[in-house]
Each structure stands twice: as structure tokens, then as C-alpha cells.
Chains A and B, each alone.
Chain A
Amino acid sequence: MTLTQPGGSVASGGPVAEPAPDPGAAPGTATLDAPRPLPPGPGIDVPETSGYRFKRRVLGPALHTDQLEHERLGKPTALAVFASDALSSTAYATEEIVRTLVPVIGVLAFSAYVVPITGALVAVLVILMFSYRQTIKAYPSAGGAYIVTKDNLGLLPAQVAGVALLTDYILTVAVSTSAGVAAMYSAFPAMYPYRVPVAVGFIAVIAWGNLRGVKESGRMFAVPTYMFLVSMFALIGLGAFKMIAGTLHKAPLPAHHIDIAKGPLGAVGIFLVLRAFASGGAAMTGVEAISNGVPAFKKPEWKNARSTLMVMGTCLGIMFIGISVLAAKLHTVPSPKVTVISQIARATLGGGGLGHALFFFVQGATMLILVLAANTSFADFPRLASFHADDAFMPKQLTKRGHRLVFSNGIIALACTSAVLVVMFGADVTHLIPLYAIGVFTSFTLSQAGMAKRHLRLKEPGWKTGILINGGGSLATGVVTIVIGVTKFMHGAWFIIVLVPVLVALLVRLNRQYESESVELEHDAKNAMTAPVLRRHSVLVLVENLDQSSARAIQYARALLPDELRAVHIAVDPDRADKLAQEWERLELMRVPLDIVDCPDRRIDRALLDAVADDVADGRTEVSVLIPRREYTRFWHRLLHDHTADQIAKTVSRLPHCNVTFVPYHLGSTTVSDDERRAYHQAAHHG
């Protein structure tokens, strides 16, 4: 009102159409009540909660929804995000093969089995790569096993594929952080007792990085991935050079080493080889990551995703074979405290200052990539979970994008479950590995089968090649799944084989619940919208004291212009009720009658329920119960009071045609002087 200047012009300026000034009025008065622009803000200061301030500090400012487009990954970053899982598995896949074979067949493992088994696994890898090229092209917008399976095989198989993959992602996080910690204590044995807290700490850091956004986590975690790639290629190159030069020497074998050179293998031997193969199958995990994360790529998504997939597959194959060859040559025997990779690095890089420095570099890079393999899961798990949730097979909260446009709830869920696993298994890779890989191969099989079926159905150009690739891929991965399931059954795979169906059943039950809720809500909604309304409206205001908050509520109730308006006091203490009634009378508030309701059992909600039931009893009255509620500025203020209001609302609103409205009174909106407070104290205690 004070901005208007005597001339009648608006101080803020701008092309405002002003009403013609009244000639008789004093200058300025004509525009005094003229329409004015809306105020720039709400005009009150709503402080951010301390929780939000903390979130902003930890995660950075909230991202604008339009920035989703910019939160896409270019190829180099995407390789770092999605390949770290696959690449990192080379750090332990060879070790797992060796660990399975060596205790039974000794040195024979190195001379005859490690490299061929690796070769077979790489063959599976090549099949998978080409299969996923097909998948990525067919489902460029939202790829992944879940969507492919859902589209081609139906919802239930999709749940199986999705759940298998989700459990595997959880295991990936647990395995990779445990393996990262193992790499750490290989270099610093003093770290061994602290492995569990360190692994959980790693999970927390990666979860934090991912909560900060896809792009940022990609940038944060790209360096270690490339460091690992460089160090591994250097190690393998150096090893190959030394091998050809003939200067590579076997590592000294541990004292307890069993040296049995058996003849041709029997049935037990074949089983053993299969088991080693299954253990090595861990290397394949993460190949599917890119196809699940296609939407995270920059445009054109499918082209970028495909070329990234090829680069990743090639690197993975070369590294896997290279490390297995070196391990076979060096006869590295893993012990609980020294990993195969670290033995290879020590033997290849040699002693001396430079050798030691390089050794620590390799070890550091390995540790980092192992920890960051978890990052791939963090990129894919939330997205996959959101697909499930979109189809109402998982809690809806998983579809919500958080502060930084990532599926925050999914990230937190993954971090928590995997941390629990790490603690349960004491960050021990060997015990976690048997649980691992079966899920990912199940989803490989299902998604390949889905692709094969799609080719059959659509018969696009080149569908015959497609069927060959995907059908072959499905068959191959199916066989591997069975092999893994059988050979590792007793070592822990049974747990996953039991868990996945149980989880699927759970998800289906969840889906039924969501569906019945939706059906109930939508049932006859159109008629309900146009049904005749009840003609009478009575408003009851719950009054505890004669105070500001009650006054607010009664003023609001009067503004509703109801047919009947009553204040209701629940007489938990009859004497106080009497006092209130007298006060009511004294202040001439009789226009709003005060109901004193008996409450013999001190349950306010039940007493009010009875009183309200009287009003709705005639079947043509809509009742609004207004509950004044104090709102507190600080969280500890809230602790000083109970939550009676919420309990009352919950009980009373069960009545049909009874609606509860909270009328807020924000404490702290007027300042109370010390004198006033002292006077109150005097009256209450010494008066």
C-alpha cells in the first residue's frame, strides 16, 4: 500500500493499465486500493528443515527435472560406470578357478585346466556380447532382461529374471567390496581385522556418490576404472614379454601345497572342472549391465551402448585370458591372505624400489576397481527395481526420483541389503561367491530366450542370424546356469535357488495387493463422482482449552458456514470441563454451543467417536471434525507433546461421512515476553 507515488504511478513501473483517477480524490488515494501485482513470494519465512539442509550439504543442490536429459553418460564415462563390474571380476575369477582346482588336483590344474576353462568362459562371453548387441538394438529405450522378458515371455518370467538379477546386484556389491578389502589386506596385512567395517564404509561411500547423481558418480569413479585398465594391460603386457623372454619365474609354493599329479580325470574330475567353470562364471557378471542401463546413455543411446559393450567385452576377454595364462605359468596358489593377482603382480614386476611401487599401484588399482564394481550395481539396481515398481510388483517408492534425479530409494535399499550381507559373511569373498552368478545367468538365459522368441514373432530382416545368436546364447547360458546350480548347490547356491522363487511369490502377492487397491479405488468412480451430495453439513470443533489454537479452529469453522456448528470438549477431567463451560458462558460464546462429552475411560478418540456418530446417524449429514493442531518449529518441541490428534483423526475418520481436518496453529508465530510468561507462572502456581 505504500509503494504508490503521489502521481498515481506504480513504483515498480512497467506497463500497468491503471484505472482512471477519480478527479475528486486526493492525489494517490485513487490508486490506493487499485489492483496490484501478486507478491513475489508467500510472504512468510518457511525455514528449511534441518534434515533438508543436511541433505543439501551432503548431496548438493536439488537438480531440476529438466536436467534429466543432461544426466546422461558419454561413452567414456559410461564405460567406467557400467564396465567396472565386468572388468573387476577378472580380479577374482581366475583366483576362483584356481582355488577350486588346486586343492584337489594340484599342479595339474595349472598345466592342463586353468587356461582351457578360461577359454570356455571367454567363448560364453563372446556369445553373450553378440546376444546383447541384439537386445540393445531391439530395446533402445529401456533395455534389460526385465523388459525383454516381460515383452516376450510374460510378466511372471520377467519377475524371475528381474529378481534373479536384483539378488545378483546385491551380491555384486557384497562380493566386490569384500574383494576390494581382500586386495587391501593383501598389501597391508594389518588391515585384516578391520575388513568388515572397511567394506561397509566402502558401500556407504559408493551409495553416497550415487545419491549425488548418475553423472557425478560416473565422473567420480571413472579414474580408478581407467587406472585399473592401464595397470592390468601393463601387467599382462610385461608378463607376456617376460614369458617370451623366459625370465618369468614361478612363485614359491606354500608349504602345505598338495602336489598330486593324477592321470586322466574320472567322473569326479569332470564335476570338479565343471565346478571350476562355474566359479569362473563370476567373470560374466556385469556383461548385462550395459543392456540394463541403455537409457542412461547419451543419444543415440543404442549406438553408444553397443560400442561401449564391444569395448568392454574385448577388454574383459583379453584381461581374463591374460591373467589366467600368467597364473598358469606362475603357479599362483591363493591363500586366504594373498590374492592371485597380487602374486602375479609381485612375480611379474619383480623386487626393487620401482617394482614395489608398481606393485602397490596395481594393488591399489585392483582394490579400487573391485570396490567400484559395486558402482555398476548401484547404477542398474535402482533402475531395474523401478521397472518392477512401475508394474506394481515392488513398493511404489522405488519409482520416485530423488533429490539428484536418481532413484534414491533403490540406492538406499541396495546399500542396506548388501551391507547386511557383508556383515553376515564377514566380508569373505569365498563364501559369497557360490551365491553369486546363478542369478545373473538365469536372467541371461531368460532374456536371450525372450529375444529368440521376439525374432520368431517379428521376423525382422536378419532374424535368422538373430535367432541363431540369441537362441545359441540362451542355450549356452542355460547350460551354464544348470552347471552352476548343480556344482555349487551344496556350497550355497541352494540358498539362491530357494530365495528367488520365494521372492517372486512375494512380489506376486505384493502385486495382488496393489491391484486390489487400485480396483477398489477405481470401482464405480464415475458414478461416485456424480452421486448426490448429503444436504446437511455439521462441523464439530474439538476444543481442549480456550486458547489461540481453538480460536483459530472456530474462526475457520465459522467460515465454512455449516448448518450446525458445535465445539466439543472431551471431559477427561470433569472439573476442568466445568471450568471451561463456565468460561464459555462468561465470555458469551454461546453462539457456538459447547458439547461436554463424558469420557469415563479417558480414551478421547472413542468418546469423540460416539459424539460424532450421533451426527451422522440420520444418514443425510456430512460431518467435519476440526482438530486444532499445534505445529512446532523445532523437533524437540514436538517431543514435549503426545500425538493424540493423529490418533483421534485415525479413529474418528473411520465413520462414513465423517471427515477430519487439522487446523494448524504454528507455535512461535507471536513472541511472548518474559513478563507475560512470568505472570502466567505466578497465576498457575502461586495465585
Chain B
Amino acid sequence: MAEDAPAGPAGPVRVIDARRPPAGLGWPTSGILDLAATVPIGSISWRQRVQVHGRVRSLRVRPWGEVLTLEVVLVDETGGVTAVFPGRRRVPGIRPGTLLTVEGMVGARGNRLTVLNPHYDLRPFPV
């Protein structure tokens, strides 16, 4: 959870600190996520807690060992990362093309960056 986030290295990655709301803005959130804390996907690295926003480019269900797992490839203009929901075959609302914000710890599987069981938020398609 956000409270446990360690102080990360300085740089483009903004480390989320849920205890301190951005000055003057209050909580521009939808649910529990601080939308202002979003970073470009291209800038994330392994073992960081990040929040990214992008479009669902593709999704698939495949077994991770014995467990069927939903993998969602999330992309923005800078890169892509896979959000993983172990044990689930679908997440209502997440479809190809959905705009999605996820927040979680960046891990890796098979040389790919993944965010396991992220907090997520569905964004409406901008009209």
C-alpha cells in the first residue's frame, strides 16, 4: 500500500506519498489514486513503486504455473508495461482500448516489467 512506499531515488519517478496531498490541490483522485502522481511508462524501472496511465493495448489469459492469470499490456507514448492480475480471467471494465491508471510495485517476469496486482482506476474515454 501507499503508506509503505520507501523514499525512492530522485529523478523523474515521483514516489507516491499518500500522507501528504499536493499543495493546494486537495485530492484530485478517483478512488484511492492520486492522479497527479502519474509518471511516463518509459521512465519506470524494476523495484519501484509507480503509478502509470495508459491505454490497454492487449490482454490475454494464460496459466502462470497452475494459476490462470490475466495479463494486460498498458502503453502510453513512452513505452509499455504489463499489469498482471493472478487468478483472474477477466476484470470487468478492462477491455482492449480501455484507458487505465495503475499503481503498484514494478516487478519482472521473463525480462518483462510487470506490475502485479496493481491498484487500478478506469478512466472515461476523453470525448
Interface residues of A (CB under 8 A from B): 566, 568, 571, 574, 577-578, 581, 585, 590-591, 593-600, 610-611, 614, 618
Contact = CB atoms under 8 A, between A and B. Distances in A.
The 3 closest A-B pairs by CB, nearest first: A593-B62, A598-B96, A597-B58
Per DSSP, chain A at the interface is: mixed
Interface string B73-89: 10100001000000001
A33 to B, nearest CB: 38
Contact of B60 (A566, A574, A578, A591): A566
A595 B58 contact: yes
Contacts, number: 51
A113 B41 CA distance: 93
Given A593-B61, A594-B61, A611-B57, 11 more contacts: A574-B95, A577-B95, A591-B63, A593-B62, A593-B63, A596-B96, A598-B96, A598-B97, A600-B97, A610-B57, A614-B73
A571 B96 contact: yes
Q: How big is the B interface, by class?
A: 10 to 19
Contact of A598 (B55, B61, B62, B90): B55
A562 to B, nearest CB: 14
B35 interface: no
Contacts of B97: 571, 574, 598, 600
Nearest to A572: B96
Contacts of B96: 571, 574, 577, 596-599
Contact of A593 (B55, B57, B60, B80): B60
Contact of A611 (B56, B58, B63): B58
Interface of B: 55-63, 68, 73, 75, 80, 89-90, 95-97, 111
B31 to A, nearest CB: 23
Contacts of B90: 581
Nearest to A578: B95
A614 B73 CA distance: 10
Contacts of A611: 57-58
In this complex, which of A568, A590, A596, A618 has the most chain B Cβ atoms within 10 angstroms of its Cβ? A596
A618 B62 contact: no
B21 to A, nearest CB: 34
Nearest to B62: A593
A578 B89 CA distance: 12
A614 B110 CA distance: 13
A590 B56 contact: no
A492 B119 CA distance: 83
B60 A595 contact: yes
Nearest to B98: A598
B80 A590 contact: no
